[in-house]
Each structure stands twice: as structure tokens, then as C-alpha cells.
Amino acid sequence: MSLEIKVPTVGESITEVTLSQWLKQDGDFVEMDENIAELESDKATFELPAEKAGILRIIAQEGDTLEIGAIVCTIEEGEGAAATPAAPKADAAPVAATTAAPAADENPDSYAAGTASPAAAKILREKGIDPATVKGTGKEGRITKEDAEKAQVAPKAAAAPAAKAAPAAAPVAAVAGARNERREKMTNLRKTIAKRLVAVKNETAMLTTFNEVNMQPIMDLRKKYKDSFKEKHGIGLGFMSFFTKAVTTAMKEFPAVNARIENGTELVYSDFVDVSIAVSAPKGLVVPIVRNAESLSLDGIEKAIAGLAAKARDNKLTIEEMTGGTFTITNGGVFGSMMSTPIINAPQSAILGMHNIIQRPIAENGQVVIRPMMYIALSYDHRIIDGRESVGFLVRVKELLEDPARLLLGV
């Protein structure tokens, strides 16, 4: 007797998903609740678990777009332990099919016993690299996407099949004047990002105002207390918590920055601040949310951001963790951005852009000194926020960051 596994309901506004990757192969024995596939919606990537133990029979193929309720596969009753020795180890599901044969040749003491994230497993399969030969730098030895991208094919693996070695030996693609092209289907997430960004540009009166922040006081504070902070709270003290705290404090004076328009005629003011933090994930930019950021301490904000960022890197964010948000902070500085005009994350009315910290000469007490300076940008919807409010808000954020004691005293 077989059981049909269907695409589950993942959100009110989601009507279809894309089958991005099978984590098990057709005919494999799977355990109940073992993840067997990755599904991608226009908001997040999530895993599909087996609803009972048995033999997997694949119906939908990778890349297929499926409606909610569509049949993905079936699971037949049967014993498969002998055919799939690695099956009982659920955590190894994403790489079990590629590691079974070569694992015996590897020294198990040479690498961490972690597993690969779904994104990392896919990259390693495309490279033909055994995950057992890659040392993971993630939590508990988990192989991250960055680990997979840096991984190189071992000499013995490259020399084994002549057919695989041939493409690597052909330098034709590097010839000057070559005009190669390749096409990739846009993911649901990328299509949604594109659609939303165009809509924001067309439907809002977006404007950007700039200022600069002397980061020396915060850097001095971090240097003095970072060790004791980490020892007490178990988390590092970063810049993002200071910016989040400054933003939520400034909003008490400029509530319009935390407002939104609904139904075209109503202004909705929130007395809480759910801060969306822009994070670069393997499949695109995502904005998980730190709920009630206005009530969190610096360590509480750091822990919330670290947890969400880890989930984003492993494509583990849920729809709920990315739904809502009243204000967004994005940090292009981690990629070296000097200045930019960030686009509003609708239906929010404003977004703060952080940038690279550069040592620059400034005038201080009548003297020219070198200080670590950062440009900050506030893009806002002029339909809701006036120029006085936008400039005043950004100046207030600057004041709080340049004198961190204000954040603690609330002045």
C-alpha cells in the first residue's frame, strides 16, 4: 500500500511552489519524518518530510512548478535498510546518495562529522566532490555554502573517470574573444524580488536622505567591553545591535517612519517595531524579522539576528519569520559599499542603509583628525514621511550612535 505525499499549505498568499531539489533518490528507503525534498516558494525554501517509512517513488521532477496539494511522490510500504545503509541517519539525508560509495576510501578522522546544508550539498554534487572530503566551518562541523564553493576536486577523484576529466582539460572557454552564454530559469524567490522592487519604484514617492556617522565612540565601546560582553551573554557585540537600538529609540520621536499606508487611504501607526534585517542567502536577499526590537537589550538583538542569519544561510527560514516587519535595516558595508539608495521594503515606509566604514579626515573641535566614518542613507515614502521627519529621524540616529550612552539613558 502506498501513501501520496502532496505539496503542503505553506501560507495564505502562496499558491504554488517549485521543487528545487530531491534529497533522496527514487527507490531509496526513507524513515518517517526524514526530509526527502526541498520546495521553494516565492518567500522561502522549506523541506518536505516523509509522512511514513517506506520506499520512495518520485513523481515530480526537480524544477517542476507545483500547485498546493499536487502530488510530489508516493511512499510504498517495504524494507529498505539493506539497500540504503545510511538511511537511519536522518541528518545525512541531503548527501547520502553521493557519499555511500567513496566514503570507504576516506580517513574518517581527517574531517568534521558534520553534514552539508542543502545549498552546499547541491554545489558539491555539481562539482563531483564527496562531502566527506570537505571540512565544514559551520556549527557542529556543518558544511556551509562557502565551504562548498571553496572546495576543490581531489587529484585522485579528478583522474578516475576520463569523461569527467576532459572538460577540465579544455581551455577553449578561456580564449580571448569567446562569446559564451548560459541561461538559467529564475527562481520563484528571484521573480518575487524583481516584481516587488519594480512595484515599489512605481507605487511609492520614494526619496533618499543621507548623513554620516563617526563610528569611533561605538568602536571604542566595543573594544573595551567585547570580551566581557561575550563572556556574560554568549554572543559577540556587533554594530547591528547599536543601529537597531538607535532606530527604535528615534522612532519614539518620529513615529511616521514606522507607519504604513493601507487600502490607499489609511495610515497605520505601530507602537511596536518589528525590524526586518536584510540578509544575503544562497538563493537571494531575504529579510527575516526581529520582533519587538524596541523592547530588546543589545544582547537580545544580537542573539535574534544571529539566529535568523544562520537560518537564512541554511535556507531554514519559515514564512512566519519573514512575514510582517515595520522597518528595514540593510548593511551594504559588509560587501564594501560606500554609499547607496536602498529601496523600500513595501508596505513599510522607510529603510535604513548602512555602509562601509572608512578612515577619513574630518573637522573636530577646530582640528583636522582621522576618524572611522560611515555614510548612512534613509530611503522613505514621501507620501507618509515629510522631509522634516526624515532628516530629523536620521540626525537623531546619528546623535545616538555618536554618543552611545544616550541609548542607555534614553536621552
Residue 101 per-residue DSSP state: T
Per the annotation, the verdict on 381 as an active-site residue is no
Q: Alpha helix (H) ranges present in 238-280?
A: 239-250
227 catalytic? Reply is no
Q: Which SS3 state, helix, strand or coil, does residue 182 take? A: coil
How far apart CA 243 and CA 302 sit, in angstroms, is 11
- Please state, in angstroms and rounded to a whole number, the distance separating the CA atoms of residues 108 and 131: 12
Q: Which residue out of 33, 64, 105, 382 is catalytically annotated?
A: 382
Please state, as a whole number, how many other Cβ atoms lie within 10 Å of the Cβ of residue 166. Answer: 9
Cα–Cα distance for residue pair 104/107, rounded to 1 Å:
8
Placement of cell 524580488 in the chain: 193
Q: Which residue in the list 28, 105, 386, 403 is annotated as catalytic?
A: 386
- Which H or E element spans position 341? none
In whole angstroms, what is the distance from residue 321 CA to residue 290 CA?
A: 8
Query: How far apart (Å, rounded) are the C-alpha atoms in residues 37 and 184?
Result: 21
Strands 357-364 and 367-381: antiparallel
Identify residue 264 by its one-letter amino acid code.
G
Question: Which residue(s) pair with 208 in the sheet?
Answer: 379
The 3-state DSSP class for residue 138 equals coil
Name the packing angle between helices 298-313 and 216-233 (round to 10°).
80
| Contact assessment for residue 165 and residue 157, using Cβ atoms and an 8 Å cutoff | no
Residues with catalytic annotation? 382, 386
